Amino acid sequence: MVYVKPSRREDFEIVIICGLPLEFNAVSLLLDEYWDEDGDHFGRSPGDVNHYITGRIGRYNVVLALLSHIGKVHTASAAASIRSSYGSVRLALLVGICGGAPQAANGEEDEILLGDVIISRTVIQYDFGRLYPDRFIRKDTLEDNLGKANKDIRNLLITFETDIGLERLQRRTAYFLKQLQANATGRKRQGRYSYPGTAEDKLFKSLYRHKHHVPCTCVCRDCNSISNPVCDEALSLSCEELGCDNLYLEHRGQLDAKRQLEQDKSDKAQEPTIHMGSIASGDIVMKSAEDRDRIAKKEGVIAFEMEGAGIWEELPCIVIKGICDYADCHKNKRWQNFAAATAASTLKAVLERYIQTDKNRNEDLDPLERDSITQGASWYDSEVRGEDVTQGNELRVSSPQSSRHCIVQEGSYFGGVIKVAGSVVQGNRMSI
Ligand SMILES: [Zn+2]
Ligand SMILES: [Zn+2]
Ligand SMILES: [Zn+2]
């Protein structure tokens, strides 16, 4: 199958957004083709400061955008810029890492482990509301909250709510994770995206503090309850340096199962579980197990992140995030690259299942104004894609040379394959 490079920004309908360079790096390893290898052809709108690369994943042309700042206000304005540069975007996928809320699980089957992936059913802006001296009241009337996903997105997500849909998604995610790891090895980044191992997946009991457990003279010595402070030094040290004790780890059955796979040297040990659920989005970096559990219970969320709310307001969006920590005081960066890789792999698996609903015919432009597709090269039986390619369209080929063969279209659907019979040569223009 040969794919034609898009000729302009309007040809891109899918944008993948990352908040961090490490997330961007992981996604970029799963592009099947880059459209800007020899320089950028597409430009951007005035005022747009996002960094973009363009390419293809499967049958979709994608723009990969890296945000320059985090936080909701910056993210929303970056999303607005994406919309102004890429006005035809129909689906935004926010892909990267997040903190998990492991206690939200209903029993062992739902346990959330590091490296697992969350797909957003909804995004909840948990820090939006009024803070009173004794309590915080979240604004949760319909208009204050984020709206629900559009029909395209709801149709896609519903397939992952079924057992077979979820199984397929997990199987393909595992496949793409290996592909990403192999691509990384090929680019001399071997090991960066390896599974860190079950021994590194530590969920401490909620009340167990990240503080000096080794003998010391700081305030940590008197820290016996959740309201007591720990010393500043402890905030920047690792669990190993502080002596956080594995005796206080929560026991989790899913982790035991993975440990067995590890002992059997099975590469299934690294395969993430995908969880569908609500994601809490806010400007606060969650580093407290107590707050995490309280908010998870109250809002019914299974993960915490910081860009979702800003994107969700501006673009039709799905959030796909790999769990890199448990949003508690013990958190560290060890799982970030792996979690970014599992999220990127799920993104690619999700795109395989994405079927766009045909655009409303009445919204279409005058047929003569429809997309014309410039083919940079020529092929028989080539795949051509463009806006508004629907069943029954006719394909005409115009040529600077004298009249060429007649073109017969054997079938087409939106974003699909149009078979072109005849001699299509370099320099031909095709219009639909
Ligand atoms: Zn100390
Ligand atoms: Zn201390
Ligand atoms: Zn610790």
CATH code where residue 298 lies: 3.40.50.1580
Question: Which-ligand-closest: CA of 242?
Answer: 3
Quick one: pLDDT at residue 391? 40
| Residue 38 backbone zone (phi > 0: left; psi -120 to 50: alpha; other: beta) | alpha
Which residue, of 352, 379, 399, is where some domain finishes? 352
The answer to whether position 358 is within a domain reads no
Residues of the chain with pLDDT under 50: 141-144, 361-394, 398-423, 425-427
Same domain, 172 and 60: yes
CA of 238 to the centre of ligand 1 (A): 13
CA of 307 to the centre of ligand 2 (A): 32
State which residues have CB under 5 angstroms from ligand 2, the bound ion.
212, 218, 220, 231, 234
Q: What is the pLDDT of residues 147-180, one digit of tens each?
A: 677 888 988 999 999 999 999 999 999 999 999 9
Quick one: pLDDT at residue 63? 97
Specify whether the CB–CB gap between 366 and 403 falls below 8 A: no
The answer to whether position 81 is within a domain reads yes
CA of 217 to the centre of ligand 1 (A): 5
Same domain, 190 and 302: yes
Question: Which-ligand-closest: CA of 214?
Answer: 1
CA of 251 to the centre of ligand 3 (A): 16
Which residue, of 216, 231, 261, is where some domain finishes? 261
CA of 236 to the centre of ligand 2 (A): 10
Same domain, 112 and 238: no
CA of 245 to the centre of ligand 1 (A): 16
CA of 238 to the centre of ligand 2 (A): 12
What is the residue type of 272?
Answer: P
Quick one: pLDDT at residue 189? 86
Q: What's the token pair of residue 66?
A: 């890296």
Q: What is the pLDDT of residues 338-365, one digit of tens each?
A: 999 999 999 999 999 998 766 554 443 3
Helix 21-28 crosses helix 336-352 at what angle (to 10 degrees)? 50
Which residue, of 214, 245, 261, is where some domain finishes? 261
Quick one: pLDDT at residue 395? 52
CA of 243 to the centre of ligand 1 (A): 11
| CA angle (290 as vertex; 20, 220 as ends), nearest 5 | 95
What residues make up the domain containing 95?
9-197+265-352
Cα–Cα distance for residue pair 325/319, rounded to 1 Å: 17
Same domain, 225 and 193: no
CA of 242 to the centre of ligand 1 (A): 8
Cross-strand pairs, 397: 430
CA of 285 to the centre of ligand 2 (A): 21
CA of 290 to the centre of ligand 2 (A): 20
CA of 211 to the centre of ligand 3 (A): 7
Quick one: pLDDT at residue 283? 86
CA of 235 to the centre of ligand 2 (A): 8
Quick one: pLDDT at residue 358? 65
Quick one: pLDDT at residue 388? 43
Same domain, 377 and 299: no
Question: 5-10 long-range CB contacts below 8 Å, 24 or more apart?
Answer: 5/35, 5/376, 6/35, 6/42, 6/54, 6/61, 6/385, 7/373, 7/374, 8/42, 9/42, 9/43, 9/44, 9/85, 9/86, 9/87, 9/88, 10/86, 10/87, 10/88, 10/371, 10/387
The answer to whether position 3 is within a domain reads no
CA of 127 to the centre of ligand 3 (A): 26
Strand 129-131 versus strand 136-138 pairing type:
antiparallel
Q: What's the token pair of residue 326?
A: 């448990």
Same domain, 256 and 273: no
- Centre a 10 Å sphere on the Cβ of residue 236 and count the other Cβ atoms it contains: 7
Which of 83, 78, 30, 89 shows the shortest CA–CA distance to 55? 30
Same domain, 187 and 225: no
Mean per-residue pLDDT of the chain: 82
Quick one: pLDDT at residue 299? 87
The answer to whether position 387 is within a domain reads yes
The answer to whether position 306 is within a domain reads yes
Cα–Cα distance for residue pair 143/159, rounded to 1 Å: 28
Cα–Cα distance for residue pair 339/194, rounded to 1 Å: 10
Coil vs helix vs strand at 212: coil
Query: Residue with structure tokens 């766009």?
Result: 356
Same domain, 287 and 407: no
Same domain, 42 and 63: yes
Q: What is the pLDDT of residues 300-344, one digit of tens each?
A: 899 999 999 999 888 999 999 999 999 999 999 999 999 999 999
Quote ipTM for the complex: 0.81
The answer to whether position 39 is within a domain reads yes
Same domain, 248 and 183: no
Same domain, 248 and 288: no
The answer to whether position 165 is within a domain reads yes
Residues of the chain above pLDDT 90, percent: 59
CA of 221 to the centre of ligand 2 (A): 7
Report the number of distinct structural domains present in the chain. Answer: 3
Per DSSP, 83 falls in state H
Quick one: pLDDT at residue 56? 96
Per DSSP, 257 falls in state H
Query: Residue with structure tokens 């080539």?
Result: 382
Same domain, 80 and 157: yes
Specify whether the CB–CB gap between 197 and 342 falls below 8 A: no
The answer to whether position 359 is within a domain reads no
